[in-house]
Chains A and B, each alone.
Chain A
Amino acid sequence: MSTQPTVHRGADAITHAFRRRNASGEKVFIPYIMAGDPDLGTTEKIVRSLSGIDVDIIELGMPFSDPMADGPVIQRASERSLRQGLTLKRLLEAVQQLRLDIDTPIVIMTYYNLFFCYGLEAFAHDAAAAGVDGVIVPDLPVEESEEFQKALDAEGIALIYLVAPTSTDERIRKIAQRARGFIYYVSRTGVTGLQKDVSSDLESNLKRLQSLVDLPIAVGFGVSTPEQAASISHLADGVIMGSAIVKLIGETDHMHEQVAAKFLSPIIQVLHNKE
């Protein structure tokens, strides 16, 4: 873990990442990779490489046997990773290792049962000690999140909520009261995965969302090209990309970290105004 006093951790680190970019008109870029695919050592290398090309927040997927919100690309990656025997405990150990030299905020994304079985308070405690900054739980709506949120708040870790195109204003207000770090806007109804076009009602939905929340908004689900990232970046504070990277890593045999960095560099250029 870093010992520099100026370094933020937890929800603060995430807020800071957005503030830093958005202040200069830039957008936050959040890549998602499946931890343990193809193995945990490679995941650590990829994280270091992404940190080196200046991504703002890294989302680490923890595989679950029954990923109901994920499309085929992330399902297959989960299966590959689970065959390696990855557990949440081992993932936290890997994050702790990475924190020796990596400062980029790290968010863990997985399904609620894994946190529940770990023990909500025990997880919050161990995750904070390891240097995890936030958690995304796709099957934990605001009605069910009180207990976990309490545990995470106590450790300063952000529970990041998802908002969907189907979310009503009333629900968005409720989520806004609880949300920490940023709002993860799901660009379309459906599971994670690639798509050709950006949803046509994205702009109006994001305007509605912006009028209801104060936190920064990052858009995910179906963002796979620099062009899509660019068009979304005009509408939101950050862009999340998952399946496209996971697919690439799944198709790569070696030097995954270089392949990922090469793939993502043009997107970062677009989002960080470095054209």
Chain B
Amino acid sequence: MALNSSPLSAVNSRPDMFGRFGQYGGRFVPETLMPALQELEQAYESAIQDPDFLKDLQSVYREYAGRPTPLYYARRLSEHLGGAQIYLKREDLAHTGAHKINNTLGQLLLATRMGKTRIIAETGAGQHGVATATAAALFGLECHVYMGEEDTQRQRLNVFRMKLLGAEVIPVVSGTKTLKDALNEALRDWVTNVCDTHYVIGTVAGPHPYPQMVREFQRVIGDEAKQQFVNMTGKLPDVLMACVGGGSNAIGLFHPFFDDKSVQFIGVEAAGEGLSTLRHAAPLCAGQVGVLHGAKEYLVQEKDGQISPVHSVSAGLDYPGVGPEHCYYKDIGRAEYVSITDKEAIDAFLTLSQLEGIIPALESSHAIAQVVKLAPTMSKDSTILVNLSGRGDKDVESASRYLEGVIS
């Protein structure tokens, strides 16, 4: 069984009873929401120990989402880079085209169990919104998705997909009109309609129990990948690589390897136009500790605590905060966090498309870009396992603007 496969591991003792990973996480929300979070925590804890719930989850993962997703040895990319052997965990092949579905299926199964009839979500690139709308259609629940107005424009295709799936898409015009503002608006909706509504947070951020719950719904990535990698190569990978916005695909991959000390974790943040330009979205690489959206975590913020506008070519990484477990991994040195610029990500987008016939999401292209940098410095008998968290169909329009002249 994938879920809770290693209950004796020390890693499963985190977060603590206050939802903290070291000093990070917690529950910084209006009093109105506290009872709802406690209710959610109890419902989640009872569900995750209930064999029937786990059986239902396994069956939707398998029969509906297309799990397990393949592990693919990227021969041409590996040969091209001339160093480490590269393996791709193909979350892009999961239903709806990204890892986001793992979490939304889990949370909506839970919401159904809790008797909630109305579902709300925030979305940046639209992948989480699409995955939520999809699961809501599957379970017959009313669904409202908040999306920054700027994102509704750069991800028009996903807006249409959500509407097609029966969801209402609500453009958010407050603040910077991007993902963080969509989160604010979803929280405002939840605080107003808390009795009948479940809020599906799309990443390992937000107040406890979200970082833990979303991790447990995403750890299927790492659980599968570990088994697949050992089956293919007879050993563990040397490096795990994943992009980090809020950080759910990365935690999903990393977490099951936590106790495998030989395996190095590298999380890749969005450097946007560069860390020195202030137009980036890299809280772990260039942020300070603060409190946003219910959790203490690293943030891209002004010195006085106002949250800074962030930037990334990838709408899914365009977020000023990051999940508390990543902050903890950074502080204890379990993971290394690096950043990749818009331009490097676009180059990697092109490289993977042309060498492997796989168009990666711009988010995942950040992880690929770091592989392009790192693999040539490693020996040929070493290995990198990359989470290809989503497919790039949604990004073709944005990328075409950058690639004008490169592809004619």
Q: Which residues of A contact B (CB under 8 A)?
A: 64-72, 75, 79, 82, 87-89, 111-118, 138-141, 143-144, 161-168, 171, 175, 186, 189-191
With both chains docked as a complex, state the minimum distance between the C-beta of B233 and any C-beta of chain A, in angstroms.
45
Q: Which residue of B lies closest to A63 (CB)?
A: B306
Q: How far is the CA of A143 from the CA of B188 in the complex (A)?
A: 21
Q: How far is the CA of A201 from the CA of B158 in the complex (A)?
A: 41
Q: Which residue of A lies closest to B305 (CB)?
A: A117
Q: Are A189 and B195 in contact (CB under 8 A)?
A: yes
Contact of A191 among B26, B29, B188, B296 (CB under 8 A): B188
Q: Known pairs A68-B293, A144-B27, A186-B30; list 19 more (Cβ under 8 Å).
A: A65-B307, A66-B292, A66-B293, A66-B307, A68-B187, A113-B291, A114-B306, A116-B305, A117-B290, A117-B303, A138-B30, A139-B291, A141-B34, A144-B26, A162-B31, A167-B32, A171-B31, A175-B31, A189-B193
Q: Which residues of B contact A (CB under 8 A)?
A: 18, 26-36, 174-175, 180-181, 183-184, 187-188, 191-195, 288, 290-294, 296, 299, 301, 303-307
With both chains docked as a complex, state the minimum distance between the C-beta of A217 and any C-beta of chain B, in angstroms.
14
What residues of B have a CB within 8 angstroms of the CB of A111 in the complex? 291
What residues of B have a CB within 8 angstroms of the CB of A165 in the complex? 32
Contact of B32 among A67, A89, A116, A164 (CB under 8 A): A164
Contact of A67 among B28, B34, B184, B291 (CB under 8 A): B184
Contact of B191 among A65, A144, A168, A191 (CB under 8 A): A191
With both chains docked as a complex, state the minimum distance between the C-beta of B171 and any C-beta of chain A, in angstroms.
14
Q: Are B30 and A139 in contact (CB under 8 A)?
A: yes
- 19 A-B pairs, CB-CB below 8 angstroms? A65-B175, A66-B180, A66-B184, A69-B188, A75-B174, A75-B175, A79-B175, A113-B299, A114-B304, A114-B305, A117-B303, A139-B291, A141-B29, A143-B26, A163-B31, A165-B32, A167-B35, A168-B35, A189-B191
Q: Are B291 and A116 in contact (CB under 8 A)?
A: yes
Q: Are B31 and A113 in contact (CB under 8 A)?
A: no
Given contacts A117-B290, A166-B32, contact A191 B27 (CB under 8 A): no
Q: Are B27 and A141 in contact (CB under 8 A)?
A: yes
What residues of A have a CB within 8 angstroms of the CB of B180 in the complex? 66
Q: Are A112 and B28 in contact (CB under 8 A)?
A: yes
What residues of B have a CB within 8 angstroms of the CB of A164 in the complex? 30-32
Contact of B306 among A65, A139, A171, A189 (CB under 8 A): A65
